[in-house]
Amino acid sequence: MTRLVVTRRSSLADVAVVVAAVLRDAGFTAVLTGGACATIYSAGAYQSHDLDFIVRAGGGRRALDTAMADAGFRRDTDRYVHPDTAFFVEFPRGPLSIGDDMEIVPVDVQIGANRILALSPTDACRDRLAAFFHWSDRQSLASAVAIARRHRVRMAAIKRWSEREGHADKFREFREAVSRPPV
C-alpha cells in the first residue's frame, strides 16, 4: 500500500486521512470532530484551519508524539504542526460530547479510497449548532445549514437535542434557514 503523506497541496480532508491512518497504525482510536467535520460535510462552504481529534483509546502523550512524527508533525505547545501545510492538529480532552450529550456514535467516512472515524453529518450539524446556541456564532449557524443542505440529517433528533439544550428558539431559526433557498 502507498504510504500517505502530507504535501503542500494537501486539502484538510487529505490531512485528516493521513492523521487518521497514523493514529490507527499506532493503536489509537480517534474521532475527527469540530470544524474539520464541518469543512468535509459542507463541501468547503465552511473552511476550518485545524483538525480536532478526540482520542477514545490508545497510548499517552509520548505515543501520540511518535505517531504524529511518523506523519511529519511536531508538537508545538497544544497543537501539532507540519512544515508542508497550514492546517494544524489538536487533541482536545474528551470525552466525545456535543453539548450535554455524551452518547455520540462516530461513523466511518469514506474520503477517496480511505476512511476516517468522524462525527456523523447529524452530529457535525449539532456540533456547529452548539457554538451557535452558546456563543451566538453566526458562522457556526451557516456551517450547520450548509451541512444540512448537503446531507441527510436527522432533523427530529436535532430538534429534541436543541430542546434539551434549552435552545428551541435557535433551532427554529436553523430549520428556517435550511428550508430557505440558498443565496
CB contact set of 75 (below 8 Å; sequence gap of 6+): 65, 68
**Structure pTM?**
0.94
- Give pLDDT tens digits for 49-84: 999 999 999 999 999 999 999 999 999 999 999 999
Query: Do residues 175 and 161 make contact, with C-beta atoms less than 8 angstroms apart?
Result: no
**Angstrom distance (rounded) from CA 121 to CA 173:** 19
At which residue does the C-alpha cell 428550508 appear? Answer: 179
Confidence at residue 49, expressed as pLDDT on a 0 to 100 scale: 95
